[in-house]
Amino acid sequence: MDGWDRDFLRRKMMGCFLGKAAGGTLGMPYEGVPGPLQLNYYAPVPEDMAPNDDLDLQVLWACLLALQEEPVVRHDFFAEAWLHHVRFACDEYGVCIRNLRNGVPPPYSGSYDNWFVNGLGAAIRSEVWACLAPGNPGLAARYAGMDGSLDHAGDGLYAARFLAALESVAFTCDDRERLIDAGLSVIPADCRLAAVIRDTRDWCRRYGNPDGVRRMILERYDSGNFTDVMPNLGFVVMALLLGGGDFGRTVCLAVNCGLDTDCTGATVGAIMGLMAPEHIGEEWLRPIGRRLVLSPEIIGVTAPETLDGFVELLLDLREKVRLQEEGTVAEPDWRRWEIPARGGAMTKFHRNCCYREAPPMPESVEEWRFPGTMGGLDATRVPEFGVYMLQFRFRMDRRRRVRVMFATESICQAWVDGRFAFGRFGGVQTNPSFHRAALNTFAELELEAGVHQLQVAVAPAAGEPEIRWVLGVGDAMDWQWLPDAFYEWE
């Protein structure tokens, strides 16, 4: 025993997850809305807590750890869990599954070829690690870091460490400034996440106006991806500092900022519930109840039926679980996952015309090997008023309906097997996930088994120095990436 009173921990953990469920349910209907919003209560008023990946993955980790005779937090535990029990295809979750299926080992599965390294997916599952390491922010951060490295890197990983440490200290401290300091102590002082947290704290002290602080966060740190940790963690810090210790005001401040509203509301709600479980008003708890509702994308696990049962599971697990310290993982031979292509400059191509059939490739063709699905090309290779033509090949193991994606902000036209599929004349940022890629950056097609060809004409938009893209082939039914889809040229 380590001196913690079980009843004390139970009360704190229940506050944490009830607060998380309330904040997440408040924000869920507005996920991705730019904001600002004007909420002061649930709208609509729920009849149950909303299922949310913010809680789903934490329940999964705890349930699977509890099945082990000697539960150990380690990379291969998470890798096995992702492959056998998680069916989320969105953003970094889908990239993680693709990388693991392709044989990319953790922690490289989070950093390799991942446009969404700075997504919120790891930060929002930090509470379980704080609950398994109450009052021990360093250990909580290490737990969260090993978990987060499966599908994140950089600031996305630091966000998980920051929140886990903050929440660990919140078991015994309700000073929000000290909590923020605890979180900052476990991430690099020179990272951008630390900068947004310090800036937000400074703006709150100097101005104290939520709307003004929100605008400053967005002006300096918005990336165009509503799930990015940078603006969303800024909103969390702002809400904590300007919410005055009131649960309802604090969660509404976070959600009213917009962007990833279910995540910011859930995170702020969890922190408030940890600090003062008794301050969550009954008006927030009555509509959501205590029944544990998981998303259908979590499979093959029997979870507790209530939050009470989940907390009891954590209380038992806390006394047994340990961390396997990270050793050095040999860096893979990245050539294994390179994507071959052919390309060449074309001068006789009208960018403003739509070609129903793919033009012939230029006479002079270069061989390319891009490091992964995220590729790029120096815009100086594109002739004035012309295009650079690229060809890729991909294979299908069976007939299926797929989404073929070439997500770019640049000018592009794309043909699959010689037929026009999609195109755009430049545009706003596209988020390259099969469920939310921008219009005109993908096509949904029924394709036969065998080898297929993707041909793309690209050109810079508005003087871009570099053309960047993410390409991929995904199943149109579940939006999962098809692993090892791209095929060598003969």
Q: Residues 69-128: pLDDT tens digits?
A: 999 999 999 999 999 999 999 999 999 999 999 999 999 999 999 999 999 999 999 999
Q: List, for residues 5-62, the tens digit of each pLDDT value.
A: 999 999 999 999 999 999 999 999 999 999 999 999 999 999 988 888 889 999 999 9
Q: How far apart are CA 394 and CA 20, in angstroms?
A: 43
Q: Which residue has the tokens 């979870």?
A: 303
**Residue 173, CA distances (Å) to 135, 267, 489 in order:** 9, 17, 60
In the predicted structure, residue 132 carries a pLDDT above the cut 90: yes
pLDDT of residue 144: 97
Tell me the C-alpha distance between 34 and 24, whole Å.
17
The CA distance from 275 to 285, in Å, is 17
Instruction: Respond yes or no on whether the N-terminal peptide bond of residue 36 is cis (omega within 30° of 0).
Output: yes
- In this prediction, residue 490 carries a pLDDT of 58
CA distance 421 to 477: 19
Q: What is the mean pLDDT of residues 252-257?
A: 98
The model's pTM: 0.95
Q: Is the pLDDT assigned to residue 251 strictly greater than 70?
A: yes
CATH architecture for residues 6-323: Orthogonal Bundle (1.10)
Query: Which uninterrupted H or E stretch holds 391?
Result: strand 387-396
Q: Which fold has domain 338-475?
A: Jelly Rolls (2.60.120)
pLDDT at residue 1 greater than cutoff 60: no
pLDDT at residue 355 greater than cutoff 90: no
Task: Note the pLDDT tens digit of each residue in 91-102.
Answer: 999 999 999 999
| Sequence-ordered list of residues with C-beta below 8 angstroms from that of 326, at least 6 positions apart, any chain | 75, 107, 146
Domain layout of the chain by residue ranges = 6-323, 338-475
Q: 483 by DSSP, 3-state: which?
A: coil
Report yes or no: 303 and 59 within 8 Å, Cβ to Cβ.
yes
User: In terms of DSSP bridges, do strands 72-73 and 322-323 run parallel, antiparallel, or are they unpaired?
Assistant: parallel
Q: Which of 139, 136, 150 is nearest to 60 (CA)?
A: 150
Edge-to-edge strand list for the sheet holding 374-378? 374-378, 466-475, 400-407, 442-447
| Strand, helix or coil for residue 236 | helix
- For β-strands 366-370 and 72-73, DSSP reports them as unpaired
**Total count of residues recorded for the chain:** 490
Taking only the tens place, the pLDDT of each residue in 211-240 is 999 999 999 999 999 999 999 999 999 999
